[in-house]
Amino acid sequence: MARWDRGSAPTIPEWFFEAVETPFEERTVEVDECDVAYQLWGEAEGTKPAKPGLLFIHGMNAHAHWWDFIAPQFLDTHRCAAMNLTGMGDSDYRYEYRGATFAEEIRAVCDAAGFGSDVTLVAHSFGGYMSVKAATLFPERFGALILVDSGIRHPDEPEPARPSMGGRAKVYPDRETALARFRLQPPQPCENQYVLEYIARHSLMAVDGGGWSWKFDDDLPDTLKDVVRAPADYQNLKLKLGVIYGADSELFSHRTLDYMRELIPQSFPAIAIENAQHHVFLDQPLAFVEALKQMLLDLSG
Question: How does pLDDT run across 127-142, given as a tens digit for each residue?
Answer: 999 999 999 999 999 9
In a domain, 184, yes or no: no
Residue 42's pLDDT band (boundaries 50, 70, 90)? Answer: confident
The DSSP call for residue 67 is G
What residues have CB less than 8 Å from 200, skipping those under 6 apart? 178, 179, 182
pLDDT of residue 44: 64
In a domain, 245, yes or no: yes
**56 within a domain of the structure (yes/no):** yes
Beta-bridged to residue 206, according to DSSP, are 212
Please report whether residue 172 resides in a domain: no
- Residues in the chain, total: 301
The parent domain of residue 74 ranges over: 14-152+219-300
The residue-averaged pLDDT of 187-198 equals 96
Q: Which CATH number covers residue 106?
A: 3.40.50.1820
Whether 193 is in a domain gets the answer no
Domain assignment present for residue 233? The answer is yes
- What is the per-residue pLDDT across 202-249, written as a single tens digit (0 to 9) for each? 999 999 888 999 999 999 999 999 998 999 999 999 999 999 999 999
Number of domains in the chain: 1
Contacts (Cβ under 8 Å, ≥6 apart) of 160: 186, 250, 251
Kindly report the pTM of this predicted structure: 0.94
Q: Is residue 8 situated within a structural domain?
A: no
Is the model's pLDDT at 288 over the cut of 60?
A: yes
Please state, rounded to an integer, the average pLDDT across all residues of the chain.
93
Q: Bridge partners of 146?
A: 122, 242
**Residue 167 domain-assigned (yes or no):** no
| Mean pLDDT of all residues in 273-298 | 98
Whole-number Å distance between alpha carbons of 108 and 217: 21
Q: Which of 2-11, 166-175, 204-213, 246-255 has the lowest mean pLDDT?
A: 2-11
Residue 161, pLDDT score = 67
